[in-house]
Amino acid sequence: MHTFPIIEVHGDALQRGRQHGQAARARIAHSIATYARLFAFCGIDWATAQTLAIGYRDVISAFDPALMTEIEGIAEGAGRHVNEILALNARTEILPPSYPGSPSPDWSRVAEVNAKAGVPQWAQVAGVKPGAALSGDTGECTSIAVSPAQSTTGHTLLAQNWDWLGAQRSALILLRVASPDGRRCLTLTEAGMLAKIGFNDRGFGVCLNILRSADDGTQSGVPVHVLLRGLLNCGSVAEAKSRTQALRFGGSSNILCADLSGARAALEISPRGLYTVDGAAAALCHTNHFIEPAAAAHQAALAPSLSTYPRLERVEALVQEHASKKYSPQDLQTFLRDESAGHLSICRRPDPALAPEACIETVASVVMDLGARAMYLAPEVPSTVDYTLVSLS
């Protein structure tokens, strides 16, 4: 079974970044290999991806200059150029709106350009063949937020399956962050990236679902993985909404967030701005399409192989079947282990028909108890392993 290293970072922003970069140096190389390959699939070589990433530097600095400094520290600690770490943190926005359609006709040539430039290759860091084709599918995620009134713990619960390339599992880390002001957070993320799924000492938590709108790529804006880290400084859903409302975005995502009071919201962001779906029922669920009607009007066309609509129907059916009872963290683990639709289920096992580096699967599963400041983590396909408890302290 995979385990994810817990990396403790503390001090000022530059110190935190250096500690992250030094401790996760090999996993950062793995992340670079993964995303250089995905960009190549779209006809973008790694040097061009870094040039595109430069356009996000000022945006990040305006959003939170300490986070830009932390990115610089990660690069220094890992022995990488800062633009490489920028490209990782803006990888969602750099990938074109057409991804994951057909591969670029220049894909093989671009991959060779990367190799000649010394860009880390999958064969070096993952032991898989760098020439195999990628899947025509993308990562998908299922997330759930439960009110404290409906939780057996009396706390807000926030849960997610993160579906992505299985080979990228070896790049994941748990990042425990302690800031000089005393604030702390814990996030499951990809090495070199500031944040993804997590919560903070104030009992506020975030999950992430990738979305695609017809407007993606039409402007620059705050990268979602930078936004997630910024939101982990918030103390409430209301504060997260307020902070997000004022921002511009270059790509689309949903941030399912929740706080100690039981407030829950899906923050659906796109270049058109922020659209919000508030949680009124016992459980608020989200997958990989826009739910808010005005936002859904600009939903990009989805590949027929994607399961976002049936997965949302399935998780909402599981919630409805449970309506007469309260939810425990173990109940949410059961939901996230559901395999009723085969390889396109809530819990997604790897498809043996696909090459390892092309295979989308559930790379990790998380159930957060925000009151306890702890997460139950499955570091593999959750139907195959036990969840283990990881605390903030």
Model confidence pLDDT, tens digit, residues 281-332: 899 999 999 999 999 999 998 876 678 999 999 999 999 999 899 999 999 9
* 68 contacts 14 by C-beta, under 8 angstroms: no
The whole-model pTM stands at 0.95
User: pLDDT by residue (tens digit) across 13-55?
Assistant: 999 999 999 999 999 999 999 999 999 988 999 999 999 999 9
Looking at domain 141-391, does it have CATH number 3.60.60.10? yes
**Whether the predicted pLDDT of 2 surpasses 70:** no
CB atoms within 10 A of CB 44: 25
Cβ atoms of residues 63 and 222 within 8 Å: yes
Domain boundaries defined on the chain = 10-125, 141-391
Q: What is the dihedral of CA 178, 183, 185, 191, to 10 degrees?
A: -40
What is the per-residue pLDDT across 44-87, written as a single tens digit (0 to 9) for each?
Answer: 999 999 999 999 999 999 999 999 999 999 999 999 999 999 99
User: Does 139 score more than 70 pLDDT?
Assistant: no
